[in-house]
Amino acid sequence: MEKLKEDLKISKNNIGNSGEYYIASRLSAEDFIVTITLGRAERYDIIAVNSSGKTFKISVKTRFKADVKRFPLSEKDERGASGDFFYAFVMLNEFKKEPDFWIIPSSVVTKILYESHIDYVENPGKNGQKRKDTGMRNLWMINNTHTKKIYPKNWEIELLSFYRNMKQLK
């Protein structure tokens, strides 16, 4: 069975779907009414309504392996923050253990992405070369040289407040 898992190649689309269904199931277990948009919505993967009737939009970003400490996003993720819009970052941990996830307000994500990208483009690369302004962005889940400069000072501690925290959607 272990050999079969090693030989299995999971498509990026199915990895993304796995994260969306995982978050939808967790929300359902917390008494939310949940719908997955299945690619029909531009920015949101899940729309959830809590027991008080408040609606939330959630964009889910999923990684298969736990050793990857960043989530790739795009330029569009630098904009559009609102109080009812959240990101769910899911690490599936190769299905060897329960997935890890963070529910982070869009206002936190957009600010970090915008400021860290400006810093990235304005500062030279390893060999002093000018960096290209691409549409790619990364949200790091650990402190590294780059995050220590731009991210909130206690980023890893702040991340803990978002870890498996669905209470902010209540």
Average pLDDT, integer, range 29-58: 92
Asked whether residue 4 carries a pLDDT value surpassing 70, the answer given is: no
Asked whether residue 124 carries a pLDDT value surpassing 90, the answer given is: no
- Do residues 169 and 48 touch, judged by C-beta distance below 8 A? yes
Whole-number mean pLDDT of the chain? 89
Tell me which of 81 and 153 has the higher pLDDT. 81
Show me where the domains of the chain are located. Answer: 2-169
Rounded CA gap, 36 and 65, in Å?
23
Average pLDDT, integer, range 27-44: 89
Least confident of 51-60, 63-72, 142-151, 157-166: 142-151
Rounded CA gap, 98 and 166, in Å?
16
Task: Outline where DSSP puts E strands in 64-120.
Answer: 70-74, 85-91, 100-105
Asked whether residue 135 carries a pLDDT value surpassing 50, the answer given is: yes
Asked whether residue 2 carries a pLDDT value surpassing 60, the answer given is: no
Asked whether residue 48 carries a pLDDT value surpassing 60, the answer given is: yes
Cα–Cα distances (Å) from 68 to 39, 86, 100, 106, in that order, read: 25, 21, 12, 22
Determine the Cα angle at 123 with ends 118 and 128, to 5°. Answer: 150
Topology classification of domain 2-169: Trna Endonuclease; Chain: A, domain 1 (3.40.1350)
